[in-house]
Structure 1
């Protein structure tokens, strides 16, 4: 420390960076943090938190429909976009302030300004000059990827700008098939917006179990989302009444807003990584080892900028593990196996472990599948066609559960508990020995006994 201004300097005050900075500072280290926008990062400012608030707002229209089936007379209702945005902004400001106070209370010094490396120990911060640090942590996260070569792309917005639309559009085209695109499709459809989802692939939600993917597609279409697969934007044109999305299948869709949610990329631009010798991988992510150390021995990186598992809780655990290792004398590496995830689509998804395809590939096809589709009890009075899906992927022989996938009300809440069991290596007999909680959606998890044979395999047999 005698040769440097800080023991640790963190670039990025998102979830991972703030956790690392706080833990290190509480251990007695002198810590500096630079943030070019607002403390809280993607999750708090332009991601998980405001998006979940939008999901809550958008679900009420469906709740009103269900309520009528239970005897409620629902009067005239209307949604005030401007009021919602104002309340959302107040909550985000409150949460960002908590991040700032937590850093300050831990003893860390926060600099507002973009930071860049000048060398392996020197950081330049806009408006603050340069500082030196014995150790540096890069925690800058990711940012939306945009196809800059697309004609008319300047007329589209990304998932950053969607939180600040001046008014609720009547029509929206969403490009993308990942969880961000699917979540926003549910949000705006629920708010009464005529919503079209355009995805170049054969199905949405690449990386999830195939039964989950097809099931969610069917369910969001039942809710009113138009899903166009196997095509993408060829151009966007400004018209007198909005925008015209010209697609590669020859069709065109008119809208008031075109939202591109085509994935995210590590935010490394302008960080000066090359000046310090920090290596990137082929996708532009910072290369790290199991302890989050980069190719430079005094520089580490955590969170989405490393493109490992791009989830807020993962970034937090990576940041905490780094601080424990370097400032707590407790060498710790975060285990990236069996990490649960949720998609706040409508209906939502909870998933942990391997998909069926991944399990068959990894275990040579020696897996058993348990699959159930059913109408949730909550919708019994509504006459709707909504269905839940629950699926278990089990290794033959050991009967270890390799994957658990749930689509339906409260699926994200359910999967958290399932993740604990799968992380501990639970087997199907142990799982089944758990007494069901009745009547619940989740009880189906422990009452499935009949193995599911996919049509193709059944015919082959």
Structure 2
């Protein structure tokens, strides 16, 4: 057994039960070092029973919510003192049982059981910290429950639909193929439920307590959280509550509440025959593509003339064209003025204000589903952040520095609640690095937010990493930027009547032509991106790309043969 580098808590987990109890009984206590020390120290451990009677006093199994039983001994741990505060003495157990104290202390409190919060809590526990997660809903957060995971399942279903339409061109006789929304919904929901259970089991194994309920900061002098009438404190508190879909009020748009958001998309019991999606971001693009491919008559309402306007201009233009080529009715310069319920569905009044023309108002009739995908807001309602005096931006996101510190010592934030790079892997990486800084003494542990790869599961998918052409020109000047592009029809479409295009762009800067941006849309670009993202992160140049032998016949070979 490799023991080097393990915290005491982790080591004790791996020993046989009698030895574990004996170690806990005889383990000595040392005085905690100052907050600036990085030397390991231990917190005091006591046994509620004689150490020699092992079999009679084995700990009971974990409770349903993952907290240790009240008979479980408090764990000793060797933890590097974090920068900014010491790990506290665990004190009495705070499990979810009637006899727990009204005030519980931990080393690390995490608000939010989403990807970022859970990753940070687990990493902290691995390093010996006594951690707890506060969550009022299903574990996994947006990504697992109403985001990337179920979305990808639906996108896969939509891809199957497109392939079925191409089967005849590839020699297959396919007739009377029917799609059943309920069949994929049931399987998708079952998969998500399994993931919820996996998260639960992982927390149980890590002995991380789950505190069920809504957390709010109290007005106590030191940062204190209250859940269901009980107070919790820790020297380190992480806010990882994520975001929620933006929804216009009925005052802003009469009848807006008759629509749903991306959360409601996963509650639909049937495929809507007529759907209207409002928004031009990646969520709107993805859902419009899924619904259209599966057979819904879809319209996409955007405020300007292109979707994905924060992406590279080539991607923005091409994606808009692909949406229209796929049969999606893209309404440009459009704004919803009102929504009414009729006997045949929803009636949506839309004003189109094309520059240089007089605004016109048109109506979309018999709509089964109106979906708002107009952005996301930080999920901080009810936290009482005002009591902490935290600095927020104009949209209410928590402002953090490069180390995820907020403006209040001992309070941190990661993920969508910060409003930067709203991606699950970003929240996970930031959360883990934060835990390593706090509980392993890695003082410089932080996430590098540069060159983060992003995929949009559109039809076809988009892959992008690094600077756009516009950003590179602004940073370096047009004379120091060189652009390489290509546009072609993927070989898959050589025999199909249905066509999609593949576009690619390399953004290079300075004399050595360092690659600082890669942008592409086409079949396979979602899986293609990761390897190229590694190369760009490592500082690859155009010459490095040129010196790489191509894989033929593939779309990816175009990126190493650009001229």
Normalising by structure 2, we get a TM-score of 0.78
C-alpha contact 2:500 2:522 (8 A) present in aligned 1: no
Shift of 1:262: 0.4
Off by >4 Å, runs of 4+ in structure 1: none
Q: In structure 1, list runs of 5 or more residues that go unmatched.
A: 450-461
Q: 1:33 aligns with which of 129, 133, 137?
A: 133
Q: 2:336 aligns with which of 221, 230, 233?
A: 233
Please tell me the root mean square deviation across aligned C-alpha atoms, in Å.
Answer: 1.2
Report matched runs for 1:249-328 at 5 Å: 249=352, 250-254=361-365, 255-328=367-440
Report matched runs for 1:210-249 at 5 Å: 210-249=313-352
Aligned to 2:536: 422
Worse-matched range after superposition: 99-108 or 438-447: 99-108
Shift of 1:277: 2.2
Instruction: Determine the C-alpha separation between the residues in 1 that align with 2:271 and 2:496.
Output: 28
Q: 2:190 aligns with which of 58, 75, 90?
A: 90
Report matched runs for 1:94-113 at 5 Å: 94-113=194-213
Instruction: Determine the C-alpha separation between the residues in 2 that align with 1:229 and 1:36.
Output: 40
Q: 1:121 aligns with which of 206, 213, 223?
A: 223
Q: Secondary structure at the residue paired with 1:160?
A: helix
Q: 1:398 aligns with which of 506, 512, 524?
A: 512
Q: 2:485 aligns with which of 357, 365, 371?
A: 371
Report matched runs for 1:329-344 at 5 Å: 329-331=441-443, 332-344=445-457
Shift of 1:329: 1.2
C-alpha contact 1:66 1:379 (8 A) present in aligned 2: no
Instruction: Determine the C-alpha separation between the residues in 1 that align with 2:332 and 2:377.
Output: 23
Instruction: Determine the C-alpha separation between the residues in 1 that align with 2:532 and 2:348.
Output: 42
Whether 2:247 is the aligned partner of 1:146: answer yes
- In terms of Rg, which structure is larger? 2
Shift of 1:67: 1.8
- Superposed CA deviations along residues 163-222 of structure 1, whole A, max 9, x for unmatched, are 011221100000000000000011000110000000112210021011111111111211
Worse-matched range after superposition: 116-125 or 38-47: 116-125
Aligned to 2:100: none
Shift of 1:263: 0.7
Q: In structure 2, list runs of 5 or more residues that go unmatched.
A: 1-87, 92-103, 353-360
Instruction: Determine the C-alpha separation between the residues in 2 that align with 1:109 and 1:206.
Output: 43
Shift of 1:32: 1.0
Shift of 1:434: 0.3
Aligned to 1:457: none
Normalising by structure 1, we get a TM-score of 0.95
Q: Secondary structure at the residue paired with 1:443?
A: helix
Whether 2:487 is the aligned partner of 1:382: answer no
C-alpha contact 2:503 2:520 (8 A) present in aligned 1: yes
Shift of 1:306: 0.6
Aligned to 1:71: 171
C-alpha contact 1:220 1:347 (8 A) present in aligned 2: no
Aligned to 2:120: 20
C-alpha contact 2:253 2:338 (8 A) present in aligned 1: yes
C-alpha contact 1:391 1:405 (8 A) present in aligned 2: yes
Aligned to 2:57: none
Shift of 1:328: 1.2
Instruction: Determine the C-alpha separation between the residues in 2 that align with 1:89 and 1:112.
Output: 22
Instruction: Determine the C-alpha separation between the residues in 1 that align with 2:500 and 2:207.
Output: 52
- Superposed CA deviations along residues 352-383 of structure 1, whole A, max 9, x for unmatched, are 01111111111111211111111100011013
Instruction: Determine the C-alpha separation between the residues in 1 that align with 2:517 and 2:562.
Output: 14
Q: Secondary structure at the residue paired with 2:253?
A: coil
Aligned to 1:159: 262
Instruction: Determine the C-alpha separation between the residues in 2 that align with 1:47 and 1:109.
Output: 25
C-alpha contact 2:302 2:331 (8 A) present in aligned 1: yes
Q: Secondary structure at the residue paired with 2:107?
A: strand
Worse-matched range after superposition: 19-28 or 181-190: 19-28
C-alpha contact 1:121 1:135 (8 A) present in aligned 2: no
Whether 2:300 is the aligned partner of 1:188: answer no
Q: Secondary structure at the residue paired with 1:101?
A: helix
Shift of 1:80: 1.0
Q: Secondary structure at the residue paired with 1:188?
A: helix
Shift of 1:385: 3.4
Shift of 1:65: 1.8
Shift of 1:278: 1.9
Aligned to 1:456: none
Instruction: Determine the C-alpha separation between the residues in 1 that align with 2:328 and 2:547.
Output: 40
Instruction: Determine the C-alpha separation between the residues in 2 that align with 1:93 and 1:386.
Output: 35
Q: 1:357 aligns with which of 451, 470, 488?
A: 470
Instruction: Determine the C-alpha separation between the residues in 1 that align with 2:204 and 2:392.
Output: 32
Aligned to 1:459: none
Instruction: Determine the C-alpha separation between the residues in 1 that align with 2:180 and 2:211.
Output: 37
Instruction: Determine the C-alpha separation between the residues in 1 that align with 2:431 and 2:226.
Output: 22
- Superposed CA deviations along residues 112-138 of structure 1, whole A, max 9, x for unmatched, are 211111144311113x62222221100
Aligned residues: 448
Whether 2:245 is the aligned partner of 1:133: answer no
